[in-house]
Every structure is written in C-alpha cells, then in structure tokens.
Amino acid sequence: MGLAPVVVFGFIRIATSRRVLTRPFSVQQAQAVVESWLAQPGVHILDSGREHLNRTLEVLAGVGTAAALTTDAQIAAHAFIESAAVATHDTDFGRFAELDVVDPVR
C-alpha cells in the first residue's frame, strides 16, 4: 500500500492541531504513528516527482478547477500513476473521471 506524502502530512497537521483534538499529538507522537504505518509489510511512501506533478496538473485540467480540489487531485494522480484505488468517504473524488474509488464506510 502506498501512502501519498500529502496524506501523511495531512494526518500530522490534523493530529497535532488543538483546533481539532482536545489532546493533540506531539510532533514526536504523530511521527511515531507514521513510522508504525511504514513498518508494516508492503507499506511505502509514494514518489511525488515530476511525473506526479504533471499528472496532478492533468487531473486538475480535467475537472476545470483547482482550489479545494488541489489536494484531492494530488491523491488521485498518485492512484492513476500506481493503477490503484483511493479509499475514501469523500465524495469529491467522484469528480475525477475513471478514478477507482473505494468507500470504506459503505
């Protein structure tokens, strides 16, 4: 399973926020969680190089907007590059044509 860097940093942003959690994680605690994910067999960080940049821009052009969809487009681009599905309950991902989306809540 690949983890997009934007998702990892999103977790760290939310987990360490006093606006989100009554008792937020310290940076070290959040890092330990990420390290525990990466210690699992088959889990790795996805590459966000030039191919990913180009694919993200293509995805955004395909929907004709960016703004609030920019992070979602980065995740979708990783899925397209890896020929993988995105596991999410976020219905915005339905805006990306041909993206394989799995809703873990349903």
Per-residue confidence at 39, pLDDT binned at 50, 70, 90? Answer: very high
Distances (CA, A) of 76 to 19, 20, 42, 70, 84: 27, 25, 20, 10, 9
- At residue 14, the pLDDT reads 96
Cβ contacts of 61 within 8 Å, gap of 6 or more: none
Convert the pLDDT of each residue in 54-101 to its tens digit.
999 999 999 888 888 999 999 999 999 999 999 999 999 999 989 999
> Is pLDDT above 90 for 1?
no
To the nearest whole percent, how much of the chain has pLDDT over 90?
Answer: 89
Count of CA atoms in the C-beta half-sphere (13 A) of 90: 15
> Rounded CA gap, 34 and 3, in Å?
10
